């Protein structure tokens, strides 16, 4: 039975096409759209929060002629992403989606339908537990190496430090690249992409704007590096590839029937490999780096919790470096609570591919649905005293009382983050390695404000002083 019908009665006949309340439609008036874009860009969380206060858990409007539904309710989020996930897909139009596709092509993040299913089936085995755990030592090594130049008492931009650690880790685990020259080139190209202005997406390529030139150059740089890596590696035998532990080798071996050298079936083309590699590279470092930056900020504001973490590290590790096998439950809870308060990804967007329903409302084919992860994470109905940093919320017995959909930093359902276990382990090991040596304290007077773009980062960076840990 199709999820949108009950017997022969179509959904649209069963549920009257009434829409949740909401603001009036946004037409195509460019001034109104620009004004809306400005207000939204300044503080999307506050803006949408105000609408939820006015209209309730789900509101609807029409944006450029398309019905738009916006929700913060865990049940709606769970329905959209999990139980009715088959009736939705990722957006393919709109500014963000176009910008991503231009750079990433059709990798896991940007693809849909049968193509996405095939790619996900081929890539899943590369993220198996054994391979990911084997990355543990690299993660600790890169964190330890990054701290070498740190001097007691100095002030550092911790956001940059976290970004360079996660970048070094993704470069090593993804394509076994240690050389900072390669890493630096990819990082610069990615920066150019991140900073590429909207103009590069909206205007045709031949418009002679510096921002368009920079974006095109960034694309050329990235292609040169990534195709270079792929072509080099493709010269190796299957046995040599299998002996390597990095993700690129696993992707090169992946076939539609499995990931071992003996498996038959089609392999990914050069272009497919490029798109997937770049997707994993981009998706695989910025989010984890933001999660860590916010975690250090929270710990600096809650020294009593930091002391408990310290106690756990001393007890479990006794001064040695952490490994993938170590059990550090408080560190894990601190990270989860930090991602509740500051989810690196604040919204998950979908488009209905057929008439369906969410929360008892009829959702027509083609409608946009925005799930506000951030607002579900800050709702006092599921998280009492929601602004308080309380890692113990994630003790199993308390977590059992939280509804599905109320905590989704990695999304949920079939499109859940493929790097979830990778990044949880990475964040745990980096946090442990740094906290064993240093306490980080926010510089007095430094302004901390959320900035929501592709990920949620501190608008003015995170200036912190580093002090040796007392042992
Ligand atoms: C704290 C770190 C991370 C966070 C918060 C995060 C968050 C997310 C979220 C919310 C989604 C789902 C988006 C949607 O459903 O529309 C997602 C998907 C994805 N993530 Fe992550 N992510 C993190 C780390 C990583 C890492 C380390 C990798 C790769 C090594 C990665 C690769 C991906 C990919 C490829 C997808 C698309 C999966 C698919 O649609 O099949 N992510 N991530």
Is the separation of the CB atoms in 162 and 292 below 8 Å?
A: yes
Give 279 Cα–ligand 1 centroid separation in angstroms: 10
pLDDT recorded at residue 2? 41
Picking from 380, 376, 428, the residue whose alpha carbon sits closest to that of residue 404 is: 376
pLDDT recorded at residue 190? 72
pLDDT recorded at residue 313? 97
- Burial class (CB within 10 angstroms; exposed 0-12, middle 13-18, buried 19+) of 143: buried
Side by side, the strands of the sheet bearing 155-157 are: 155-157, 463-468, 438-442
For residue 150, tell me if it sits in a domain.
yes
For residue 400, tell me if it sits in a domain.
no
160 and 31 fall within a common domain: no
Token couple for 20? 């949740």
For ligand 1, whether the C-beta of 411 sits within 6 Å is yes
Give 110 Cα–ligand 1 centroid separation in angstroms: 11
> Model confidence over 349-376: pLDDT tens digits?
999 999 999 999 999 999 999 999 999 9
322 and 369 fall within a common domain: no
Is the separation of the CB atoms in 131 and 245 below 8 Å?
A: yes
Token couple for 175? 């394509």
Q: State which residues form the domain around 24.
A: 5-99+344-392
Distance of CA 42 to the CA centre of its chain: 21
- Burial class (CB within 10 angstroms; exposed 0-12, middle 13-18, buried 19+) of 58: buried
178 and 70 fall within a common domain: no
Give 345 Cα–ligand 1 centroid separation in angstroms: 9
DSSP annotation string for 124-176 = GGGG-HHHHHHTHHHHHHHHHHHHTT--TT-EEEHHHHHHHHHHHHHHHHHH-
Protein residue closest via CA to atom 11 of ligand 1: 417
pLDDT recorded at residue 203? 54
Rg, the chain, Cα only: 23
Residue tagged 């439950």 (tokens) = 329
Under DSSP, the state recorded for 90 is -
For ligand 1, whether the C-beta of 167 sits within 6 Å is no
Split into its structural domains, the chain has a count of 2
CATH number of the domain residue 143 falls in: 1.10.630.10
Distance of CA 175 to the CA centre of its chain: 20
For ligand 1, whether the C-beta of 159 sits within 6 Å is no
pLDDT recorded at residue 224? 86
For residue 297, tell me if it sits in a domain.
yes
- Burial class (CB within 10 angstroms; exposed 0-12, middle 13-18, buried 19+) of 450: middle
What are the residues whose beta carbons fall under 8 Å from the beta carbon of 447, sequence distance 6 or more? 459, 460
pLDDT tens for the 471 residues of the chain, in order: 344 445 566 666 666 678 999 988 877 777 777 777 788 788 999 999 999 999 999 999 998 889 999 999 999 999 999 999 999 999 988 767 877 888 888 999 999 999 999 999 999 999 999 999 999 999 999 999 999 999 999 999 999 999 999 999 998 999 887 666 666 777 777 776 666 655 555 555 666 667 777 777 778 888 888 898 899 899 999 999 988 889 999 999 998 875 444 556 789 999 999 999 999 988 988 999 999 999 999 999 999 999 999 999 999 999 999 999 999 999 999 999 999 999 999 999 999 999 999 999 999 999 999 999 999 999 999 999 999 999 999 999 999 999 999 999 999 999 999 999 999 999 999 999 999 999 999 999 999 999 998 889 999 999 999 999 876
pLDDT recorded at residue 292? 98
Picking from 89, 12, 19, 71, the residue whose alpha carbon sits closest to that of residue 366 is: 89
DSSP-derived 3-state class of residue 110: coil
For residue 333, tell me if it sits in a domain.
yes
What are the residues whose beta carbons fall under 8 Å from the beta carbon of 380, sequence distance 6 or more? 386
241 and 369 fall within a common domain: no
Nearest-angstrom CA–CA distance, 86 and 465: 48
For ligand 1, whether the C-beta of 215 sits within 6 Å is no
329 and 361 fall within a common domain: no
For ligand 1, whether the C-beta of 136 sits within 6 Å is no
426 and 306 fall within a common domain: yes
202 and 264 fall within a common domain: yes
For ligand 1, whether the C-beta of 419 sits within 6 Å is yes
Nearest-angstrom CA–CA distance, 193 and 159: 19
For residue 403, tell me if it sits in a domain.
no
pLDDT recorded at residue 149? 96
Give 416 Cα–ligand 1 centroid separation in angstroms: 7
Nearest-angstrom CA–CA distance, 57 and 54: 9
For ligand 1, whether the C-beta of 348 sits within 6 Å is yes
181 and 329 fall within a common domain: yes
355 and 241 fall within a common domain: no
DSSP-derived 3-state class of residue 258: strand
For ligand 1, whether the C-beta of 344 sits within 6 Å is yes
For ligand 1, whether the C-beta of 291 sits within 6 Å is yes
């Amino acid at each position: 039975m199709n999820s949108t019908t009950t017997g022969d009665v179509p959904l649209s006949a069963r549920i009257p096409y009434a829409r949740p309340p909401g603001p009036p439609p946004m037409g195509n008036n460019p001034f109104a759209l620009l004004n809306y874009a400005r207000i939204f860009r300044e503080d999307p969380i506050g803006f949408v929060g105000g609408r939820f206060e006015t209209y309730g858990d789900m509101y609807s409007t029409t944006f450029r002629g398309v019905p738009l539904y916006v929700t913060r309710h865990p049940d709606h989020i769970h329905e959209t992403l999990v139980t009715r996930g088959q009736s939705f897909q990722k957006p393919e139009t709109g500014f963000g989606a176009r910008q991503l596709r231009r750079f990433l092509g059709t990798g896991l993040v940007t693809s849909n339908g049968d193509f996405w299913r095939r790619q996900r089936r081929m890539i899943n085995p590369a993220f198996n537990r054994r391979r990911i755990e084997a990355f543990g030592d690299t993660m600790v090594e890169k964190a330890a190496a990054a701290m070498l130049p740190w001097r007691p008492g100095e002030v550092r931009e911790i956001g940059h430090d976290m970004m360079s650690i996660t970048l070094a880790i993704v470069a090593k685990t993804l394509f076994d690249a240690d050389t900072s020259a390669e890493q630096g080139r990819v990082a610069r190209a990615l920066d150019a992409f991140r900073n590429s202005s909207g103009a590069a997406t909206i205007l045709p390529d031949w418009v002679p704007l510096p921002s368009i030139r920079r974006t095109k150059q960034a694309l050329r740089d990235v292609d040169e590096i990534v195709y270079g890596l792929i072509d080099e590696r493709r010269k190796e035998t299957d046995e040599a590839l299998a002996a390597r532990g990095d993700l690129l080798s696993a992707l090169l071996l992946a076939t539609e029937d499995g990931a071992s050298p003996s498996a038959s079936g089609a392999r990914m083309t050069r272009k497919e490999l490029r798109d997937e590699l770049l997707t994993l590279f981009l998706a695989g470092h910025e989010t984890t780096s933001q999660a860590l930056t916010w975690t250090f900020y929270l710990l600096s504001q809650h020294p009593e919790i930091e002391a408990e973490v310290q106690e756990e590290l001393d007890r479990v590790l006794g001064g040695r470096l952490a490994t993938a096998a170590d059990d550090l439950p408080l560190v894990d809870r601190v990270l989860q609570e930090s991602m509740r308060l500051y989810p690196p990804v604040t919204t998950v967007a979908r488009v209905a591919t057929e008439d369906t329903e969410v929360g008892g409302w009829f959702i027509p084919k083609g409608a946009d649905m925005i799930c506000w992860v951030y607002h579900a994470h800050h709702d006092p109905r599921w998280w009492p005293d929601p602004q308080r940093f309380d890692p113990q919320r994630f003790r199993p017995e308390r977590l059992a009382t939280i509804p599905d959909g109320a905590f989704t930093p990695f999304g949920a359902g079939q499109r859940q983050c493929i790097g979830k276990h990778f990044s949880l382990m990475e964040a745990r090991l980096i946090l442990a390695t740094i906290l064993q040596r240093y306490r980080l304290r926010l510089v007095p007077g430094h302004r901390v404000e959320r900035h929501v773009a592709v990920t949620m980062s501190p608008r003015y960076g995170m200036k912190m002083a580093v002090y040796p840990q007392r042992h």
